[in-house]
Amino acid sequence: SQELEQSPQSLIVQEGKNLTINCTSSKTLYGLYWYKQKYGEGLIFLMMLQKGGEEKSHEKITAKLDEKKQQSSLHITASQPSHAGIYLCGADVGGGYQKVTFGTGTKLQVIP
């Protein structure tokens, strides 16, 4: 089973609509990171969350960390076609050395 589960796996929304992507860890989180990937390309680092209750924003994208639930949510307000892509969460779940464990990704399509 995956250490980091993302939901939904894919999402199709109409331009202008809001949406939320969730990332749940089966292990204690020491840090949670969000990345965006355009299909067939590398990842772009969006933001990092480290403390429970912490909330950060990057343009119209807001992410929040619920440490007790071992979960993070990423919310996009008034989606635009430029938001389309694959969103991956990453986390430091321990393991003896500093590394990022990645979730399976959520594919987002925004329809004009």
Partner 1 sequence: DGGITQSPKYLFRKEGQNVTLSCEQNLNHDAMYWYRQDPGQGLRLIYYSQIVNDFQKGDIAEGYSVSREKKESFPLTVTSAQKNPTAFYLCASSPAPIYYEQYFGPGTRLTVT
Chain residues that interact with partner 1, rule: CB under 8 A: 2, 4, 9, 31, 33, 40-45, 48, 88, 90, 92, 97-100, 102-105
Cβ at position 83, least distance to partner 1 in Å: 19
Q: Measuring CA to CA, which residue among 53, 48, 76, 47 is closest to residue 65?
A: 53
* Burial label, 85 (beta-carbon count in 10 A; 0-12, 13-18, 19+): buried
Closer by beta carbon to partner 1, 45 or else 57: 45
Cβ at position 112, least distance to partner 1 in Å: 26
